[in-house]
Amino acid sequence: MKLGLLGGSFNPVHNGHLAIARQTHEALGLDQVLFIPTSHPPHKPNDSLAPAQDRYEMVRLAIASEPSLAISDVEIRRPGKSYSIDTIRLLQEEYGTQAQLYFLIGLDAFLDFPSWREPRTLLKLCQFVVLSRPGQSFRSLSTVALLPTIPYPSLADLDAGRISQLDAPFGTQGLICLKLPPSPISASDIRSRIRQGLPVANLLPPLVESYILQHHLYQEDRNRTNS
């Protein structure tokens, strides 16, 4: 089984996240993409983070009609901060050795990979798939410690869109760089629009928008202003 792992705070999950999951599912021939909402992301402040159970429920609603997408509460049910190495080990136990794990990660986040907990062990346990991000260049991978030397022209070809995928040796599993169509949607922008009472209909699945309104999420500033 080829299983893509898409972790994140999903605060909230939006149409951009769903597009990434569908596109990687198709490009890599994955059997399933597993959304993994974080409980307490180690690299992010928790200021505007909705409760973990709400973020989990929003993802569940967003993917309910798509069999190729699934969700795991592996990080939410574990106390404390969520570290990728712990998550991967738990998923290996859950899915068994037959499952081939593809760790889907944005280029911006992957640049910090050497600072992660047990990065060299992670390289042995799963294959990393680095996804393009707006305003980020694949050529910046040449500055990342632990990475093998990737031919600069190949990275430039990715950035320019002349190729959409690049496979490189990395750890025991390998590294895949994937150029995806850019998405202008951001969770922080959505939270800002909700606080201001602006429409978000084209940014979120309808069920997620309804959940946010029903549970009064991301409206702290508006409530404070009106009080």
In tens digits, what is the pLDDT along the chain, a chain of 227 residues?
999 999 999 999 999 999 999 999 999 999 999 999 998 765 555 568 999 999 999 999 999 999 999 999 999 998 777 789 999 999 999 999 889 999 999 999 999 999 999 998 998 899 999 999 988 999 999 888 877 778 778 999 999 999 999 998 776 778 999 999 988 899 999 999 999 999 998 999 999 999 999 999 998 754 444 43
Q: Beta strands 165-168 and 100-106: pairing type?
A: unpaired
Angle, in degrees to the nearest 10, between helices 52-63 and 206-214: 150
Over residues 172-203, the pLDDT tens digits come to 778 999 999 988 899 999 999 999 999 998 99
3-state secondary structure of 39: coil
pLDDT score at 144: 83
pLDDT score at 225: 41
The CA R_g of the chain, rounded to the nearest whole Å, is 18
pLDDT score at 146: 79
Fold adopted by 2-183 = Rossmann fold (3.40.50)
Task: Kindly list the domain boundaries of the chain, sorted by start residue.
Answer: 2-183
User: Which residue type sits at 227?
Assistant: S
Gap between the Cα atoms of 155 and 139, Å rounded: 5
Q: Beta strands 69-71 and 127-131: pairing type?
A: unpaired
| Tokens of residue 46, six digits | 């928790």
pLDDT score at 98: 87
pLDDT score at 227: 36
pLDDT score at 42: 58
pLDDT score at 128: 94
